[in-house]
């Protein structure tokens, strides 16, 4: 069984439309993020987040009344499966360095005082002091940047050309930005797990690009007469089935993670789901056309991309 028999799709010829689409998406994302729509989880913003499990079905309005008297502006929402009787409380006020869990204690006390008939049976909490959050934010940006840089160096070394490294890195950067845009638009918080997903995507996106670059490198060895464009387009088509199957299965696996992986993994799953689609897209329509465009600039006599 085969998905596509001998595909001949002109990827490069349509590249400019896709590049325009990507720029549009990134532009919208940057605008959305710049206007303050990207939300950080407590790990990064500092603060307190509680997950409280109640004995019986919780009445969120009464909980909100109780909590907001001691902690104005707190966010209260049902957590996970409604039948699990869990409620998430996010306290916006800063946790003081000297007594980190004071806001959390106040909230628990307030609930015990005014909502005594339905006691909290178990609680989980995440409390992050302001110092840690800022440190972690810097670290995340630094590590992502370094990860990209080292991948660029590795690819440039393996393919004996900065063009390949730069193209793969630009595509990975593109994926990061598009993912961030999606996270902002769909109101997902940037948590540590999401950062882990983003860093993994950087690896995954580059991974995907390399498979095609590798095929192009192989083709370059014994087809020197063809234009770069034809050669790249052929390489894309030769590996297309693999691209679809590999990314398709991984996509479905992370989709399962997003849908059934539980509340904690939802942000991670979402990032991976978006990332794998975007990563595949950027390999086909960003990374390879970039290599083509670059090589055309190097050798202006070569013909521009046309259908194979």
Partner 1 sequence: MPPALQNPITLWLLLSVALAGLVYAFMRQELRVKAIGYGAFLLACAVAVWPPYERAGTPGKIHLGLDLRGGIHLVLQVVVDDALNATVDDAVATARDQAARKGIQIGPVQRVSPTSFSVEGTEPARVKDMRDLLRDFFRGGWEVRESGEGGFAVEMTDLYHRQLKDQTVQEVIRTLERRVNALGVAEPLIAAQGSRGDQILVQLPGVTDVDQAKRVIKTTAQLSLKLVETSAATRDALLTGTGGRQPDNMEVVSGPGDTPGEPVYYLLRREALITGRDLKNARVGVDENNRPQINFSLNATAADKFSRETGRNINRQLAIVLDGTVYSAPVIQSKLGADNRITGRFTTQEADELSKILKAGALPASLRYLQELTVGASLGRDSIRDGVRASAAAMAFIAIFMLFYYRLSGVNAVVALAANLLILLAAMAYTDATLTLPGIAGIILTVGVGVDTNVLVFERIREELRNGKTVRAAVQNGFDRVWITILDTHATALIAAAFLFQFGTGPIKGFAVTLVIGLVANVFASYFVSKFLFEWVLGKRHYESLSI
Q: Could you say which residues in the range 174-233 bind partner 1, by CB under 8 A?
A: 192-193, 195-197, 199-200, 202-204, 206-207, 210-211, 214-215, 218
Judged by beta carbon, residue 231 or residue 254, the one nearer partner 1 is 254
* Residues 51-70 within binding reach of partner 1 (CB under 8 A): 51, 53
Beta carbon of residue 213, minimum distance to partner 1 (angstroms, whole number): 8
Judged by beta carbon, residue 63 or residue 197, the one nearer partner 1 is 197
Check residue 266 and give left, alpha or beta (phi > 0: left; psi -120 to 50: alpha): alpha
Q: Which two tokens stand for residue 102?
A: 């004071």
Beta carbon of residue 22, minimum distance to partner 1 (angstroms, whole number): 21
Contacts of 133 (CB under 8 A, 6+ apart): 40, 42, 43, 44, 45, 46, 47
- Only one residue has tokens 């940006």, namely 141
Beta carbon of residue 256, minimum distance to partner 1 (angstroms, whole number): 5
Judged by beta carbon, residue 65 or residue 92, the one nearer partner 1 is 92
Q: Which of 61, 97, 222, 299 binds partner 1 (CB under 8 A)?
A: 97
Q: Which contacts of 279-283 are long-range, i.e. CB under 8 A and separated by 24 or more positions?
A: 279/175, 279/201, 279/204, 279/205, 279/208, 279/247, 280/208, 280/243, 280/247, 281/18, 282/22, 282/171, 282/172, 282/174, 282/175, 282/178, 282/205, 282/209, 283/171, 283/205, 283/208, 283/209, 283/212, 283/243
* Contact present, 164 and 155 (Cβ < 8 Å): yes
166 belongs to the binding site for partner 1 (CB under 8 A): no
Q: Which stretch binds partner 1 (CB under 8 A): 18-26, 126-134, 178-186, 283-291?
A: 126-134
* Contact present, 300 and 278 (Cβ < 8 Å): no
Q: Which stretch binds partner 1 (CB under 8 A): 15-23, 68-76, 146-154, 180-188?
A: 146-154
Q: Which stretch binds partner 1 (CB under 8 A): 22-30, 69-77, 119-127, 226-234?
A: 119-127
Beta carbon of residue 61, minimum distance to partner 1 (angstroms, whole number): 24
> Binding-site residue total for partner 1 (CB under 8 A)?
71
- Only one residue has tokens 């209260």, namely 76
Q: Which of 132, 156, 220, 296 binds partner 1 (CB under 8 A)?
A: 132
Beta carbon of residue 292, minimum distance to partner 1 (angstroms, whole number): 20
Separation of CA 241 from chain center: 25
9 belongs to the binding site for partner 1 (CB under 8 A): no
Judged by beta carbon, residue 11 or residue 204, the one nearer partner 1 is 204
- Rounded to the nearest 10 degrees, the angle between the axes of helix 266-282 and helix 192-222 is 20
- For residue 128, count other CB atoms closer than 10 A to its CB: 20
Judged by beta carbon, residue 23 or residue 253, the one nearer partner 1 is 253
SS3 55: coil
The pattern of x and - marking residues 230 through 269 that bind partner 1 according to CB under 8 A reads --------xx-xx--xx--xx-xxx-xx-xxxx-xx--xx
SS3 270: helix
């Amino acid at each position: 069984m085969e998905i596509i028999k001998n595909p001949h799709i002109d990827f490069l010829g349509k590249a400019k439309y896709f590049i325009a689409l990507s720029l549009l998406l990134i532009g919208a994302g940057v605008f959305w993020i710049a206007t303050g729509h990207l939300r950080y989880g407590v790990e990064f913003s500092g603060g307190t987040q509680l997950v409280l499990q109640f004995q019986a079905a919780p009445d969120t309005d009464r909980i909100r009344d109780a909590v907001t008297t001691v902690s104005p502006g707190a966010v209260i929402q049902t957590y996970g499966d409604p039948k699990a009787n869990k409620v998430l409380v996010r306290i916006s006020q800063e946790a003081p360095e000297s007594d980190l869990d004071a806001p959390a204690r106040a909230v628990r006390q307030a609930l015990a005082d005014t909502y005594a008939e339905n006691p909290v049976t178990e609680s989980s909490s995440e409390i992050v002091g302001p110092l840690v959050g800022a440190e972690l934010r810097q670290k995340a940006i630094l590590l992502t940047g370094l990860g990209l840089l080292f991948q660029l160096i590795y690819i440039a070394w393996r393919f004996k050309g900065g063009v390949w490294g730069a193209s793969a890195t630009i595509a990975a950067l593109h994926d990061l930005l598009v993912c961030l845009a999606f996270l902002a638009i769909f109101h997902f918080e940037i948590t540590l797990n999401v950062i882990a997903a983003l860093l993994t995507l950087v690896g995954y996106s580059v991974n995907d690009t390399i498979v095609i670059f590798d095929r192009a490198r192989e083709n370059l060895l014994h087809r020197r007469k063809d234009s770069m464009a034809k050669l790249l387009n052929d390489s894309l088509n030769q590996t297309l089935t693999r691209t679809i199957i590999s990314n398709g299965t991984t996509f479905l696996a992370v989709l399962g993670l997003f849908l059934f992986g539980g509340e904690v993994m939802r942000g991670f799953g979402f990032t991976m789901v978006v990332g794998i689609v975007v990563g595949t897209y950027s390999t086909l329509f960003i990374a390879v056309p970039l290599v083509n465009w670059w090589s055309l600039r190097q050798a202006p006599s070569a013909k521009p991309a046309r259908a194979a």
